[in-house]
Amino acid sequence: MPPLILITNDDGYQSRGLHQLVAIASELGEVVVMAPEHNSSGLSTSITCTRPMRVHSTKGPSGIEYHYCDGTPADCVKMGIEYFCPRPPDLVLSGINYGSNASINIAYSGTMGAVLEACLDGCQSIGFSLLNHSPEADFEAASSFIRHIIDSVLHHPLPDYTALNVNIPRLDASQIKGIRVCRQARASWVDSLEKRIDPIGRPYWWMTGKFVCDNPGEDSDEYALANGYISVVPVSPDFTNHSAINILKHLES
Amino acid sequence: MPPLILITNDDGYQSRGLHQLVAIASELGEVVVMAPEHNSSGLSTSITCTRPMRVHSTKGPSGIEYHYCDGTPADCVKMGIEYFCPRPPDLVLSGINYGSNASINIAYSGTMGAVLEACLDGCQSIGFSLLNHSPEADFEAASSFIRHIIDSVLHHPLPDYTALNVNIPRLDASQIKGIRVCRQARASWVDSLEKRIDPIGRPYWWMTGKFVCDNPGEDSDEYALANGYISVVPVSPDFTNHSAINILKHLES
């Protein structure tokens, strides 16, 4: 039986990045698609608790059935596994996202929220993001690398409680130097909110901001990407800073 | 100058849990409140990218000014720090939440999304949650412990890139045995989505589920809570599984 691959994203079921990931994965296994109905950028691992959800289906450009749901990317993973996969998936993929989810962007990413949800659900999972927000983004340039990573994970399971955050530089296929396994770079978003005044004099705020990563470190994802490599960060939904437990024993009473 | 404490939550600015946290923190420093306008449970570290946000202000029950915003808990932290704090806050608090954010619930929690956002913004931060969803939840029982934790963090800064996830058992003050510093327990939510049929025969799904944590381990938050202790987990917005980096070097090309 071929491996079963559940695919979602956060840009919505009509995204070209999703179509490209479906095309690659279809060569490696049986594909089930369950993607958000709407753009779900910035939704992190959020779930929909306050209203019911609906699911619809259509045909994707490759002829594969696409299910789509009016929930978040993490909802899509739960929904896909529990109701739309004929058996537990061997792998969950998310993407290909328009724009970086490297460094601290993972904290906000719906693409990676889906990946972390899959990991919490006991599935192998990988998120793919391309450092290009343009509608003309070239999702094919890195196809051979993406195929290599998926194929490798299908044959060599990831470490326990671990998923992959894969980011792809905005380069032609011939310019991509290879793949580097890295840590998440430390960085910050500054000036995140822009205050404006509406036509009747009342303030409102838009999310914006500048990404600042001055010293990414040679072992980080930002360094790899800046130097022409695809970055692969092993990530975990265990938020514990284990090394801090003993340091904080003075809090006990 | 007294320490400046920014307070938010995910249950919204009218929550009794917020009022209680404001009352405790007001004894220890100068308080700024910026909370979500609406219940934001399950919103994780999500941010609002697709529409502008508004802010309003009112007086809380203690007479302190409450700002509230129609964004997420993480939005509230960014908004509070950038526009409503007179200087960078010395501490960001979130809660007191109705219901547990221990174990893997941190991944979905808006309360802890605010805390992780504050950590990404370079602030000391703590989230407080009470294991009680009832409208009559007793937020005062653990007040002396909450005061102790806040006071301790104000005097002894947390380790680098680390915040605290504090969960409080549903017990009378006299029954709480103390505080334990722990790791996040591994667990899972099963049967997360309940399928129903609407009056005209179409399916819809509600988020629900059963929390399963069979072997929490004596060093975990779930074990501490089940044994009458307040759990304190040091958490970090670094998602990297550092020990997996070398194991995955075979992916490089």
* pLDDT for the residue numbered A253: 87
Mean pLDDT along residues A213-222:
96
Position B253 confidence tier, pLDDT thresholds 50, 70, 90: confident
* DSSP string over B128-194: EEES--STT--SSTTHHHHHHHHHHHHHSPPPTT-EEEEEE-S--GGG--EEEE-BPPP-EEES-EE
How open is the CA angle B24-B47-A204, to the nearest 5 degrees? 85
Q: Among partner residues B55, B183, B243, which is closest to A240 by beta-carbon distance?
A: B183
Residue A110 with chain B: CB contacts under 8 Å? 46
The percentage of residues in chain B with a pLDDT greater than 90, rounded to a whole number, is 99
User: What one-character DSSP code corresponds to residue A47?
Assistant: -
User: What one-character DSSP code corresponds to residue A157?
Assistant: P
Position B103 confidence tier, pLDDT thresholds 50, 70, 90: very high
Cα(B6)–Cα(B13) distance, rounded to whole angstroms? 13
Q: Each residue of A144-165: pLDDT tens digit? A: 999 999 999 999 999 999 999 9
Mean pLDDT along residues B235-251:
97
Residues 114-173 (B) with a CB less than 8 A from some CB of A: 116-117, 120-122, 145, 148-149, 152, 156, 158-159, 161-162, 164-165
* pLDDT for the residue numbered B144: 96
Please state the φ and ψ torsions of residue A116, each to the nearest 5 degrees. Answer: -65, -40
Reported ipTM exceeds the 0.85 cut: yes
* pLDDT for the residue numbered A70: 98
C-alpha gyration radius of chain A: 19
* pLDDT for the residue numbered A178: 97
Please state the φ and ψ torsions of residue A13, each to the nearest 5 degrees. Answer: -70, -10
Q: Which residues contact B51 (CB under 8 A, 6 or more apart)?
A: none
The percentage of residues in chain A with a pLDDT greater than 70, rounded to a whole number, is 100
User: Cβ separation of A193 and B79 shorter than 8 Å?
Assistant: yes
Q: Each residue of A189-206: pLDDT tens digit? A: 999 999 999 999 999 999
* pLDDT for the residue numbered A122: 97
Whether A251 shows a pLDDT value over 90: the answer reads: yes
Q: Each residue of A41-84: pLDDT tens digit? A: 999 999 999 999 999 999 999 999 999 999 999 999 999 999 99
User: Cβ separation of A239 and B184 shorter than 8 Å?
Assistant: yes
Please state the φ and ψ torsions of residue A89, each to the nearest 5 degrees. Answer: -65, 145
The percentage of residues in chain A with a pLDDT greater than 90, rounded to a whole number, is 99
Residues 33-72 (B) with a CB less than 8 A from some CB of A: 39, 41-50, 52-55
Cα(A82)–Cα(A79) distance, rounded to whole angstroms? 5
User: Model's pTM, two decimal places?
Assistant: 0.97
User: Cβ separation of B145 and A107 shorter than 8 Å?
Assistant: no
Strands (DSSP E) contained in chain B are: 4-8, 30-36, 55-59, 65-69, 91-98, 125-130, 163-168, 178-181, 188-190, 193-197, 203-207, 210-212, 229-235
Chain B nearest CA to A236, separation (Å): 6
